[in-house]
Amino acid sequence: MSKMKSFKGKIEDGGQDTVSLHTNDGSIGYRIVKLDIMSANPSAGTGEHIVKIFSIKQASVTGTVDFADQTLLAAATLKTNSSTGNPETIQQVIFDNMTFNQDIYVTAIDVNDSNAINYYIELEQFKLDLNQNTMATLKDIRNETLAI
């Protein structure tokens, strides 16, 4: 039986948050089921936020989204324009159905300005059997090795 866990936070432009999920034995697995983002100051003018979730810590935060990156778990964009008198909000969210059992890292950048952004993540939490645990752990080790 699985249960849901949620996490929320605010990231400054160019920042990175760590969502602590690791356990001593890696027997708990997670899957992203929801990612929502909202500008920390929606009336601040024009913003174009890119929020990404990774399985490994990022050396730098960029505005590039690369779905070929096997460490990318989710990406969301939010475009706001309140300076025209007709506020508009366009949001896109895409996430992978990948199972992980270690910490995840949330990055954010505003490519038009320097506004902070809020995020809300829902994760499905479930018990991993020995084979699933081994596969998730080996994938994390492989991703860390590739990042070096």
pLDDT per position as a tens digit, 12-39: 999 999 999 988 887 899 999 999 998 8
Domain extent for 120:
3-147
Residue 98's SS3 state is: coil
Across 83-92, 93-102, 119-128, least confident range: 83-92
What's the pTM? Answer: 0.85
Per-residue burial over 21-33, b if 16 or more Cβ lie within 10 Å, else e, is beeeebebbbbbe
Q: Using one digit for the tens of pLDDT, what is the confidence trace for 42-91? A: 776 778 899 999 999 999 999 999 999 999 999 999 888 766 655 566 67
Confidence band, pLDDT 50/70/90 cuts, at residue 112:
confident
Strands (E), the chain: 3-11, 16-19, 28-39, 46-54, 72-81, 88-95, 104-110, 117-127
Which pairing describes strands 72-81 and 46-54: parallel, antiparallel, or unpaired? antiparallel
CATH number at residue 32: 2.60.120
**How many folded domains does the chain comprise?**
1
Give yes or no for residue 140 having a pLDDT over 70: no
